[in-house]
Amino acid sequence: MSAKGDLVYAWATNALIREKGESGGAVTALLKFALDEKMVDAVLGVKKGADIYDARPVLITDPDEVIETAGTILGGTLLLSKLFGKYLDGAKDLKIAAALKGCDVMGVYEQAKRRQVNLDNVLMIGLNCGGATTPAMMKRIMSEVFEVDPDSVRKETMYKGHLHIIYDGQQKDISIPKLEEAGYGRRSNCRRCRMKIPRQADLACGQWGVKEEMVGKATFVEVCSQRGAELIDRALEAGAVGIKVPDASCIKARKRREEAILDLADKWRKRDFEPLSSSKERLRMIIEETSRCIKCYTCVEVCPALFNTIKPYITAFPGKVPPELGFHLLRYSHVADSCIDCGQCEDLCPMDIPNALFMHAMEADLEELYGYHAGEDMSLPAVAITEEPDMTD
């Protein structure tokens, strides 16, 4: 019997899933099993679209189609959290299993606090995540750094701090710090991200800690909830997955890997936040950058830490483009202590305004002040528990 806190190696017993899936296909096998056994009504996942740079969300109800979500797409910057509320009625009546990166899980938590998602109906299989790169940047890396035709690349993976590619039957790799020093690489929010192993999910899965001879053949799984333990036990009993207890040395190696990537995140935070350390300079940068805003409302619409409404922004700031600074300050005040640094407001801003940087810098300051960690537990943000003083006599 598995229990919260257990650590196992797992792999799919189905040969096709093992072949198509990342790290032995355990995640795909578990999602398929949950759907096969009607533990859930649907699987929300991401599949390859037109090419390896195109990540598309997909809702699957046929277990045989789950295999289409196998594998990793590093050039995809989707956030799945808001899809629950926008298209799936917040999982109110539908039980959904999903494979989610750290920012997806954090976003689901923030949405759940705002009653946009029913957490009881969401089975979360968390994925280790070293970071994602925009499709445009990934294509530049292929052509400018690796000097290969982006269309010839069949697979990209991050492993042991390196980006590896397979193209035309050949392989190349480069160290990620080296790539990033040269101005390429992961999105800036990903570089600052500390949610590399999402233990708020039911299971946290990935390759960190898989021993050398099992790399590509097994997934390291942390059991993070009773529901996750039940899924593993039932899948094992039905023969959908195989499992093995990892050696102590592999558990230590996983810890070292996590610590190394968290150290790197802290370095990037220091570097990115340094120019914002003076309040005057921060305000000057915010005024200057937001002066390009065309008030498209995208940053409001995509943010998982905001309610699904742009009405207050339309009502409070009608007509004018660019909007007054207050438009941005209103958004900042709504999200300042809840920003999960998912990067969506920056990725999708048509004017390349570094929204996520400003928001994340504020969240980091407030995290220090209040000790509130957005997206990590279900406690409410400080702004939600602050009582307005009664000003009437």
What is the contact mask toward ligand SF4 in residues 65 to 94, using x (rule: CB under 6 A)? ------------------------------
The residues with which 291 forms a beta bridge, in sequence order, are none
Q: How far is the CB of 155 from ligand SF4 (least distance, A)?
A: 18
Number of other residues whose CB lies within 10 A of the CB of residue 327: 19
What is the contact mask toward ligand SF4 in residues 357 to 386, using x (rule: CB under 6 A)? --x---------------------------
Q: List all residues 6 or more positions away from 259 whose beta carbon is below 8 Å from its beta carbon.
A: none
177 binds ligand SF4 (CB under 6 A): no
Specify whether the backbone of 371 is left (phi greater than 0), alpha (psi in -120 to 50) or beta.
left
| Nearer of residues 160 and 234 to ligand SF4, judged by Cβ | 160
With CB under 6 A, what is the number of residues at the site for ligand SF4? 36
Q: List all residues 6 or more positions away from 22 whose beta carbon is below 8 Å from its beta carbon.
A: 70, 71, 72, 157, 207, 219
305 binds ligand SF4 (CB under 6 A): yes
Please state, in angstroms and as integers, the Cα–Cα distance from residue 117 to each residue in 85, 273, 318, following that order.
6, 32, 30
Binding segment toward ligand SF4, per CB under 6 A, in 24-32, 45-53, 125-133, 202-210: 125-133
294 binds ligand SF4 (CB under 6 A): yes
Member of 12, 142, 342, 366 binding ligand SF4 (CB under 6 A): 342
Tokens 């042991």 -> residue: 160
Member of 21, 24, 102, 242 binding ligand SF4 (CB under 6 A): 102
Contact 149, 236 (CB under 8 A): no
193 binds ligand SF4 (CB under 6 A): yes
Contact 179, 186 (CB under 8 A): no
Q: How far apart are the C-alpha atoms of 79 and 81, rounded to whole Å?
A: 6
| Nearer of residues 240 and 359 to ligand SF4, judged by Cβ | 359
Q: How far apart are the C-alpha atoms of 120 and 104, rounded to whole Å?
A: 16
Q: How far apart are the C-alpha atoms of 391 and 393, rounded to whole Å?
A: 7
Q: How far apart are the C-alpha atoms of 86 and 360, rounded to whole Å?
A: 24
Burial class from Cβ neighbours inside 10 Å (0-12, 13-18, 19+) for residue 274 reads exposed
| Nearer of residues 39 and 351 to ligand SF4, judged by Cβ | 351
Q: How far is the CB of 297 from ligand SF4 (least distance, A)?
A: 5
Binding segment toward ligand SF4, per CB under 6 A, in 44-52, 136-144, 239-247, 333-341: 333-341
190 binds ligand SF4 (CB under 6 A): yes
Handedness of CA 100, 106, 107, 110 (dihedral sign): positive
Binding segment toward ligand SF4, per CB under 6 A, in 111-119, 238-246, 353-361, 376-384: 353-361
132 binds ligand SF4 (CB under 6 A): yes
Contact 343, 190 (CB under 8 A): yes
Half-sphere exposure of 359 (CA within 13 A, CB side): 32
| Nearer of residues 58 and 364 to ligand SF4, judged by Cβ | 364
Q: How far is the CB of 143 from ligand SF4 (least distance, A)?
A: 23
| Nearer of residues 47 and 196 to ligand SF4, judged by Cβ | 196
Member of 182, 260, 296, 316 binding ligand SF4 (CB under 6 A): 296
356 binds ligand SF4 (CB under 6 A): yes
Member of 47, 122, 298, 354 binding ligand SF4 (CB under 6 A): 298
Q: How far is the CB of 312 from ligand SF4 (least distance, A)?
A: 14
The residues with which 15 forms a beta bridge, in sequence order, are none
Residues that bind ligand SF4 (CB under 6 A): 101-103, 129, 131-132, 189-190, 193, 195, 293-299, 302-305, 335, 339-345, 349-351, 353, 355-356, 359
